[in-house]
Amino acid sequence: MDLRGYFETPVPATVLAEGEFGTTEGKTANGIVTSSEVFDTRVVVDSRHAGCRPADVLESRDAPDVPIVTSVETALAKAPEVEVLVIGVAPAGGGLPESWVDDIEAAIRAGCDVVSGLHVFLSEDEHWTDLADRHGTRLIDVRKPPGDDDLRVGDGSIDDVSADVVLTLGTDCAVGKRTTTYERYRAARDAGYDAGWVATGQTGLMIGSHEGTVIDRVPADFTPGVVEDMVTAVGEAHDIVIVKGQASLTHQTYSGVTLSVLHGCWPDAVVIADEPGRRTRTHFDAFEVSGIETEARLVEALSDAEVAAVSTWGDSETEAARLDLSVANVFEEDGPRALLSAVRDVLAAPTASNGPPESGA
């Protein structure tokens, strides 16, 4: 899925982040507000932070100065030009909270399309499809997996992709893989490279990846093939393809999808995202984090890729001193550029046809 194809971007949007704006559970809404190339956020709905400003809630100077309000009705009054409601939270349990129904209905009646990251699909519910039909709006469920006709097992056709492929993996979930991928993509474009990127989760799709699928909704046998198709499509249009991975190869719960992404995109280089202070896994305190060294060893044992760098949340100099790898903090001003430089060194200097000269990056 490429959401850029649905809209004349950036499209003015209301972001529904009820109760979770600024939290980990609201990471999709947070990313849309600060980074999306598809949606131009004009107002945020979150009654918990109504009256605040996104820059304060997100502690980010990149956040736009837009209002946070209590309801979609208020949002429509504040920003009548909005064309789409983006649901930026997927509540625990996967359902649609009853308290959100009025907000979504109000958006549709006002002529807004709805882009949903919910686990339930609005486009398969008669109530929502009838309402959308009456008001001439679209329901776009980004978690909906590819249809059966688009599923296949991986066949190694990724070897025919001439573009360089760079994958972001991690030592755990929620260690900054999506941020690392996106910021490295932006650094590459700023440096003059013809780069595109592939998302494997809903946040990346809503920010504006060139291709994406919520990969945990794809049947296991077909995951490498779906990734292969996405990377191939982006590689046909760009010289560098940056892929956002999932979880980690040592994660007892999610390593299956991690390995499928690694094998599906068969990268030339890998960047590993890490939070150095983390000792146990997010949401799984019984599982210990195995660490960068183990993760890097497995990446290079299970693929032909070379680990180019570590994207850390910590002090890059401290981490570099203990690791035999390039290290940068992607949240620091020069971090994305440093990661790009490390990847460039692994891929070798680009030719005139696919990027700037050595000094340009």
Angle between helices 255-265 and 223-237 (to 10 degrees): 40
Q: Please report the pLDDT score of residue 353 as a whole number.
A: 38
- 133 and 162 assigned to the same domain: no
Residues 288, 178, single domain; the answer is: yes
What pLDDT digit, counting tens, does each position of 7-37 carry? 999 999 999 999 999 998 888 999 999 999 9
Do residues 27 and 176 lie in contact, with contact meaning Cβ atoms separated by under 8 Å?
no
Length of the chain: 361
Tokens of 120: 């339930």
Question: Rounded distance, CA 90 to CA 103, Å?
Answer: 15
One domain for residues 356 and 313: yes
Boundaries of domain holding 123: 3-141
Q: Tokens representing 121?
A: 């699909």
Dihedral sign for Cα 172, 173, 178, 179, please: negative
One domain for residues 33 and 55: yes
- Tell me how far apart the alpha carbons of residues 166 and 187 are, in angstroms, rounded to a whole number: 14
Over its C-alpha atoms, the chain yields an Rg (Å, rounded) of 20
The residue type of 334 is D
Q: Which of 78, 106, 141 is the last residue of a domain?
A: 141
| Whether 120 and 251 share a structural domain | no
Residue position matching structure tokens 């190339």: 37
Same domain for 27 and 133, yes or no, is: yes
CA nearest to 234, candidates 40, 11, 4, 39: 4
Task: Please check whether residues 182 and 294 belong to one and the same domain.
Answer: yes
Within this chain, do residues 306 and 190 fall inside the same structural domain, yes or no?
Answer: yes
The tally of domains found in the chain comes to: 2
Instruction: Among 106, 141, 176, identify where a domain stops.
Output: 141
Which domain CATH number covers 71? 3.40.50.720
Same domain, 171 and 296: yes
Is the domain of 338 the same as that of 311? yes
SS3 labels along the chain: CCHHHCCCCCEEEEEECCCCCCCHHHHHHHHHHHHCCCEEEEEEECHHHCCCCHHHHHCCCCCCCCCEECCHHHHHHHCCCCCEEEECCCCCCCCCCHHHHHHHHHHHHCCCEEEECCCCCHHHCHHHHHHHHHHCCCEEECCCCCCHHHCCCCCCHHHHCCCEEEEEEECCCCCCHHHHHHHHHHHHHHCCCCEEEEECCHHHHHHCCCEECCHHHCCHHHHHHHHHHHHHHHHHHCCEEEEECCCCCCCCCCHHHHHHHHHHHCCCEEEEEECCCCCEECCEEEEECCCHHHHHHHHHHHCCCEEEEEEECCCHHHHHHHCCCEEECCCCCCHHHHHHHHHHHHHCCCCCCCCCCHHHC
Domain boundary among 141, 169, 198: 141
Give the CATH number of the domain where residue 351 resides: 3.40.50.300
| pLDDT-flagged residues of the chain (< 70) | 92-93, 349-361
Distances (CA, A) of 248 to 172, 181, 267, 296: 5, 15, 15, 10
Does residue 198 share a domain with residue 114?
A: no
- Write down the pLDDT at residue 324: 86
Q: CA–CA separation, 295 vs 274, rounded Å?
A: 10
117 and 159 together in one domain:
no
Token representation of residue 144:
């909906």
Tell me how far apart the alpha carbons of residues 206 and 89 are, in angstroms, rounded to a whole number: 12
- Entry pTM: 0.87
> In the prediction, which pLDDT does 356 show?
41
